[in-house]
Every structure is written in structure tokens, then in C-alpha cells.
Structure 1
Amino acid sequence: MTDNIAAADAATDKHAQFQRLFLTGASGYVGRNLIRHFTARNIAVTALVRNDAAARLVRSLGATAVTADILDGNLAANMAGCDSLIHAAADTDHGPATAKQRRVNEDGTRAVMDAARKAGIKKVIHLSTESVLATGKPIINADETTPLPRKPAGGYSRTKAAAERLALATSTQDMPVVVLRPRFIWGRDDTTALPALVQAVQSGKFAWIGGGTYLTSTTHIGNLCTAVELALGKGRGGEVYFISDGEPVPFRQMVSALVETQGLTVPDKTVPRGVVRIVAAIGDLLGAMSRGKIIPPLTLQAYATSAVEVSFTIGKAQRELGYAPVISREEGLAELRAAQH
């Protein structure tokens, strides 16, 4: 633990010039943890939220709340006085593509970057995802030179890839923009993946796809927060960095361990990957034919996230950012178990 604190303190020293941070997506899982992380280091955080409940939440965490829409024309005024920006807001729905998702992920990113430029922001961290590479086929040991696919898995992958391009296109010497790509974010205070897994197990709907033996990269929320901090100090403008917990692990091993921290046991039920792939294709077809009126049980976007290997290397982040995981999987799992008592 002492080593973890020392690493975090060193990261803080590297970006001491950034003392007022503007954060989008502030009340979400990642946003809440970023607020905790930076306010603990005496960094003032101004948090963009959409409603009063979210405003109360971020204030309770030590941030200053600004209630506005991401497409609000006054966004630059709300950023006034801040020297850095973390853009974490996104529509992460893995269902059929929607106009709303495009507006949030693409138009929203364009609006945020434009506001940052007008407000005189000195450094931007854009939080992306490994899903920009997703097609439904395995992603094996990818790195930052792996090209974006011409035919992404679905609306989430497509709009997040577009958001990446928009963010990187705004990077200048005066306002460098750095992109981070985490995968399978997990850990304390998880209101996304873990609750969904627990609900699936409790409802009897959980099944392993093809046995679940394929590898996955993962990113503990604490490791992501540390990577963001390091990227503020050392990230090069116009560059992309993969972030993870280190070596990938079997998907089944990771998911089983997560669910077991909640006092549950994952069943052995398995469905053939080919069957699931067909169901996903039908889901996409129904969603497209109904123009979003039919919400299918599975899409290729969801399949690409959980049914095939998704692994990548973090060598670039290690070399250029000095990144190394500060929380091991074992420590993160122990933290989740302790939270149950």
C-alpha cells in the first residue's frame, strides 16, 4: 500500500501545474471515482452534471457541481478558470445504434472540445474504450498501432471511434489532447458491470459463451484513475494509450471471481458461441428493421464485448507515462469482499 501511495504522489508531482479540473460524466461510475481521486490530492474539481440529484452526489464527494447539458452553448463559460479537462461522459449502451448515442458521443465530444479551446484549457484527457476496435472477431494482443475497423460491431463502437477522431483532431501544442482506452472497468463502487452480472446470476439467465475460456484485459478503477493522473502530466498530445491491470486473464476466471465477492456462485451453464453469434445477428437485424422500436436481447455490440478474446498490451503507457498498475486484481477483489461485511 505504501508503494501505491508513493506512485500516486509521484504522479501528482508530475502534473502540479494542473490545479483546477473540469470533469464531464461526473456522476457516473468512473466520474465519481475520479472526483475522489483528485480531490484527495487537493485538486479542485468542477463537475458537469445533468440534474439536481447528480449535483448533490458530486458535491458530497467534494466537487463543485455545474448543472448543464453536454451540448449546452454555455459550456465554455462553465469551464472558465479550469486548466485541465477530463471528458468521461458517454452513452455506453450496447444495444442497437441510436440518434441519442450519436449526439452524446459524437456531437457531445465536439462541443466539449470546442468549449475547452474557448475556455483556455491547457490539457485534455479523453476517455475512450477498447471497443473502438470491436468487430465481433477476437482482438488479440492489440496495441495502439492496430487500425480502427471499417465495419465496427455497433453504434457504441462506431460513435466512440468517431469521438476519438474528433478529440485527437483538436489536439494542439496549446491544448494537447490525450486518449486513454481502458477495458472492463471494475472495482469498488461499481454500478455498471458487477450489478448486471449479479442480476444475471440471480435470475438464472447467466451462461458462459463457449465456456468463457477466452482471455480478457481488465482495468481496476483505481488503476484507471492513476493512469488519468499520469496522462495529465506526461501524456503526449494526439496520442492514444491502452490502460489495463497488466496481463490478460481468462474471462471465466475474472467474472467468477467478481461474482463470488458478492457471495454468489456462477453456474456452469454454457451455450455454443455459434448460437449466440446467430442470435446477435438476428438482434441487429430486428433493431434495424424496426428502427429501434424492437429492443433485441442481444446485439453484435454486446457479443463483441463478452463472447470473444479482447486483449491488448500496455507497453506504450508504461514507457511514455510511467504507468504501472497500483492495485492488483487480488487486492481489488479483496476490497470488494470486504465491502460486503
Structure 2
Amino acid sequence: MATVFVTGGSGFVGSRLIARLIKHGHAVRALARSDAAAGKVKDLGAVPVRGDLADVAGLRAAATGSELAFHAAARTPGRGTRKQFWTDNVDGTANLVRAVREAGVQRLVHVGTEAALMNGQPLVNVDESAPLRPDSRAHYAASKAAAEQVVIKANGSLETIVVRPRFVWGAGDTMVLPELVDMVNSGRFAWIDGGRHLTDTTHVDNAVEGLMLAAERGRPGQAYFVTDGAPVVFRDILTELLATQGVSAPSRSLPYGVAKSVAAAGETLWRSLRLKGAPPLDYMSMWVSSRECTIDITKARAELGYQPIKTQQQGLAELR
């Protein structure tokens, strides 16, 4: 079995990935920025290596001896300036690519996202031919698009592959569902135009399945979308997710035009005054909450043999 180097191993996707790798008999080394992160990956069975994405030499040392690497670390949507997103997601990815290549790693699988295609437009049955949007108004989307460009461009002596799950959810989520519950409980939650648009989702186990298959079968230099297999109504899936936590989704709804104005004003105000935290509604949250995002996973099915391994009902039952 291979020795595998993982970044972001204490996160939602990364921790499930480490558990899967360990189960399959691989030896795992995991980058850890803090004592808490080191403790978590150690509990999963990985060897924690202290360091961060700003330190090329440290990354190279951590990856030495590994044949395969997974890059799951990223600054996630929400708080942060454009510079911070670029430093963490773009510069950090470039540092990792350089380090693993110099360490002799053979293949790098990068955790991408459909957000890399977003700049306010609906994404309707999109596939991997849709253009990346490093010019996106949303810092997260722009930085993830630029990071993916870095990864794909690096393909050569190092084999690089991107896997793009959409709306990752499931037991162990420490971000999306807890934030939704907090928004409802604090009275900050509202649908946009009723929330009746279609969206694809990816249970965390399905995301990990895609990553494992990409490591084994993915074509170098390629990107692959993975999802739960069929779109759902945004309002329906969020209502069911909230219900697993004993929370009832409110009926309050904002017109799209109002939400767009609120997001634009908030983004401008926070940027110009350099305010801390995040505006009440940012571009990324508005787009996810109001624009269709449906994904064609034909390529992953055909080239990776990908099939979802966890159904929506199974995932919801685990959350309850």
C-alpha cells in the first residue's frame, strides 16, 4: 500500500478521506497547523506533521517518501479579504505543488469545487468544459478557480487531477449545517425567491469516493465533477437538513433583486471600510441560495467508474 500525504486532514472532507485511506491500508502523513489539528489526525490513525502552506521547505519535508498527495486544505467561504483568500488558496496551492514535486510525489489530487465556475450566473447541467472564473466577484470562487488553474498547469512530471464536489454535506459537518441552524435560531435566515431552484449536492462519503477513484484512475491534467447523482430542490434539501437538528425552516423570503442589492452593498461596505467578519449577505451565499446549480457527472461515471455510494436518505438518517 502507498504512503499518502494529506493537507486539510482535520477538516470535514479531509478527515473522512484519512479514515478511508487508513481503512484501505495506506500509511498517511497529514499536515497540521495546530495542536488540535494534530490531535485529530492522529486519532484518525495518521501521522501528524506540523506546518502550513506558506512553508515550501516544510511541505517538501512532510511529503518526502509519499507516492500520492491529496490537497484538501483551503480557506472556505465566509470571512476573509481577497488577499487572504489568494494567499491561502492560490499561493498555498502553488507552494504545495512545488513541494510535492520536489519531494518526488507521483500524483496530486486536488479538492476543487463548482464554485470555481461561479460569477452570479445559473449553472445548468454544466460539465467540465465550462470555463473557470478567476475573475469572479466572490473571493472564494475566484481563488478556487485560480488554484485549480495552478494545479492543472503543473501537470507533467507531477500528475495532477482535480475533483469537484458540489455542496458537501453529511455527519461531521462543522460549517454549513451548524451555520444554517444558527441563522435560523438567530432570525437571520430567509429564502431568496422562495428557494425553489434546483441544486446538486455531494454527501461527504461520495466526495471521498470520487477522490479515491481519481487517485487510482483519473487522467492526469483533468477535472471531474462528483455529486449525489441527481439534483434536488434547494428549499427541500435545506429543510430536511435543518429538520435532522430539530429545527424548522422559516417561511420568510426575499426577492432576488433585494438580496442582490443587500449583497452588493455589504461587500462594498466591508471592503471599503475593511470591516472584520463577513457582511450579512455575501455574493457567494446569495448565488448558492438563489441560482440553479446542476451538474453533469457523465465524465466521472465513464472515466472513473464513479457511482454515489451514499444516498440522500442514508445521509439524512445519519444526521438525525
TM-score (norm 2): 0.96
1:308 corresponding residue in structure 2: 291
Q: Which runs of 5+ in 1 are unaligned?
A: 1-17
What SS does the aligned partner of 1:92 have?
coil
Does the CA-based 8 Å contact 1:157-1:301 persist in structure 2? Answer: yes
1:242 corresponding residue in structure 2: 225
C-alpha displacement of 1:295: 4.0
1:185 corresponding residue in structure 2: 168
Does the CA-based 8 Å contact 1:128-1:164 persist in structure 2? Answer: yes
C-alpha displacement of 1:96: 5.8
C-alpha displacement of 1:293: 5.2
2:270 corresponding residue in structure 1: 287
CA change 1:95–1:56 in 2 (3 A) is closer
2:66 matches 1:82:
yes
CA change 1:267–1:34 in 2 (3 A) is same
C-alpha displacement of 1:236: 0.6
CA change 1:292–1:201 in 2 (3 A) is closer
**Cα RMSD (Å):** 1.4
What SS does the aligned partner of 2:161 have?
strand
Does the CA-based 8 Å contact 1:143-1:312 persist in structure 2? Answer: yes
Does the CA-based 8 Å contact 1:76-1:115 persist in structure 2? Answer: yes
1:322 corresponding residue in structure 2: 305
> Which of 147, 166, 173 is matched with 2:131 structurally?
147
C-alpha displacement of 1:256: 0.5
What SS does the aligned partner of 2:130 have?
coil
* Structure 1 residues 84-103: aligned runs within 5 Å: 84-95=68-79, 97-103=81-87
Does the CA-based 8 Å contact 1:214-1:308 persist in structure 2? Answer: yes
2:38 matches 1:55:
yes
Does the CA-based 8 Å contact 2:78-2:278 persist in structure 1? Answer: no
Partners of 1:199 and 1:274 lie apart in 2 by 25
C-alpha displacement of 1:152: 1.1
Partners of 1:259 and 1:222 lie apart in 2 by 20
2:108 matches 1:124:
yes
Does the CA-based 8 Å contact 1:96-1:299 persist in structure 2? Answer: no
> Which of 175, 186, 193 is matched with 2:158 structurally?
175
1:209 corresponding residue in structure 2: 192
1:22 corresponding residue in structure 2: 5
Partners of 1:294 and 1:21 lie apart in 2 by 35
> Which of 225, 243, 255 is matched with 1:260 structurally?
243
C-alpha displacement of 1:134: 0.8
C-alpha displacement of 1:185: 0.3
2:41 matches 1:32:
no
What SS does the aligned partner of 2:245 have?
coil
Q: In the alignment, residue 93 of structure 2 is paired with which amino acid? A: T
Q: In the alignment, residue 162 of structure 1 is paired with which amino acid? A: A
2:147 corresponding residue in structure 1: 163
Does the CA-based 8 Å contact 1:134-1:305 persist in structure 2? Answer: no
Does the CA-based 8 Å contact 1:95-1:301 persist in structure 2? Answer: no
Partners of 1:51 and 1:196 lie apart in 2 by 23
Q: What is the number of equivalent residue pairs in this alignment?
A: 319
> Which of 257, 263, 279 is matched with 1:296 structurally?
279
Runs of 4+ in 1 over 6 A off after TM superposition: none
TM-score (norm 1): 0.90
Partners of 2:144 and 2:180 lie apart in 1 by 24
Partners of 2:119 and 2:201 lie apart in 1 by 19
Partners of 1:175 and 1:278 lie apart in 2 by 44
Partners of 1:166 and 1:155 lie apart in 2 by 17
